[in-house]
């Protein structure tokens, strides 16, 4: 499917991968809880508790809102059933920390933009090779959010990526309204003006 200069290419597979709960499913069902690591909180980590019978799949760039700051996950992670795990994240709301929206985080409808996600992935990869840690360059993430905000012409009092997305939500939803996943589709590739932009690929349609 083509939208303007963007091609959305569906990816298919006849193989079945392991079943897993997604974050928004786990939170809505009450089997997954995401919170700050403690009362003080840490910018680069959050706590995930999963009580489901299946593994929990957390997706790279997926955003959570609430806590002391909105965050995005630094990579894709599998959380085992019954576990309580600290997960590496990056902040995408620079101007808020002391005011806690809620004790628990909620899953957001947004993921980080392709360009910002690529920059974050590069710094996380460098961190893995040099320090064996899933750390990002936090200042680079904030800079990426600021650039997207400027491009969209959206001002946010807390420099929040959520505000940037919501400012463009109507336009985005209008463009993707007719896009539906196809039978046996397990992923999607995005190409813009002939240039590969991003790809997400999962193990199964479930």
pLDDT digits (tens, 9 = 90+) for 159-180: 888 877 775 556 666 666 777 7
Contact 5, 182 (CB under 8 A): no
Res. 187: pLDDT tops 90: no
Per the domain annotation, does 196 fall within a domain? no
Residue 65 CA to residue 111 CA, distance in Å, equals: 11
Per the domain annotation, does 191 fall within a domain? no
pLDDT band at 148 (very low <50, low <70, confident <90, very high): confident
Report the helix count and the strand count for the chain, using DSSP H and E.
Answer: 5, 13
Q: Please tell me whether residue 47 adopts helix, strand or coil conformation.
A: strand
Which has more confidence, 3 or 31?
Answer: 31
Residue 107 CA to residue 63 CA, distance in Å, equals: 7
Residue 6 CA to residue 121 CA, distance in Å, equals: 22
pLDDT of residue 202: 74
pLDDT band at 124 (very low <50, low <70, confident <90, very high): very high
pLDDT of residue 32: 96
**Short-list 116, 133, 117, CA closest to 125:** 133
Q: What is the mean pLDDT of the chain?
A: 84
Per the domain annotation, does 189 fall within a domain? no
Dihedral (Cα; 179, 180, 185, 189), 10-degree rounding = 20
Per the domain annotation, does 84 fall within a domain? yes
Burial of residue 127 (CB within 10 Å: 0-12, 13-18, 19+) is middle
Per the domain annotation, does 10 fall within a domain? no
Token digits for 72? 């995005």
Percentage of the chain beyond pLDDT 90 is 39
Residue 11 CA to residue 13 CA, distance in Å, equals: 7
Per the domain annotation, does 187 fall within a domain? no
* DSSP state letters, 151-172: HHT---TT-BHHHHHHHTHHHH
Q: What's the pLDDT tens digit per position in 38-62?
A: 988 899 999 999 999 999 999 898 9
* Domain of residue 27, residue span: 18-179
pLDDT of residue 55: 93
pLDDT of residue 204: 60
pLDDT of residue 103: 73
Residue 63: how many CA atoms within 13 Å on its side-chain side? 22
Count of structural domains within the chain:
1
**Short-list 52, 63, 64, 66, CA closest to 20:** 52
* DSSP state letters, 87-123: EEEEESBTT-SSS-S-SBEEEEEEE--HHHHHHHHHH
pLDDT band at 197 (very low <50, low <70, confident <90, very high): confident
Per the domain annotation, does 152 fall within a domain? yes
pLDDT band at 94 (very low <50, low <70, confident <90, very high): confident
Q: What's the pLDDT tens digit per position in 24-40?
A: 999 999 999 999 999 88
Per the domain annotation, does 142 fall within a domain? yes
């Amino acid at each position: 499917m083509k939208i303007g200069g963007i091609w959305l290419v569906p990816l298919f597979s006849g193989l079945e991968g392991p079943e897993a709960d997604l974050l928004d499913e786990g939170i809505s069902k009450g089997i997954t809880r995401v919170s700050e690591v403690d009362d003080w909180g840490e910018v680069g980590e959050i706590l995930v508790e999963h009580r489901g019978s299946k593994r929990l799949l957390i997706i790279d760039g997926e955003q959570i809102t609430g806590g002391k700051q909105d965050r995005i996950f630094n990579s894709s992670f599998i959380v085992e059933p019954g576990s309580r795990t600290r997960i590496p994240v990056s902040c995408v709301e620079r101007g808020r920390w002391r005011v806690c929206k809620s004790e628990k985080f909620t899953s957001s409808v947004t993921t980080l933009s392709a360009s910002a996600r690529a920059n974050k992935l590069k710094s996380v990869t460098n961190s893995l090779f040099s320090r064996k840690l899933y750390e990002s360059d936090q200042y680079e993430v904030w800079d990426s959010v600021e650039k997207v905000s400027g491009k969209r012409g959206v001002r946010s009092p807390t420099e929040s990526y959520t505000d940037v997305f919501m400012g463009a939500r109507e336009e985005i939803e209008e463009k993707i309204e007719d896009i539906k996943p196809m039978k046996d589709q397990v992923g999607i590739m995005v190409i813009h003006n002939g240039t590969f932009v991003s790809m997400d690929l999962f193990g199964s349609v479930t």
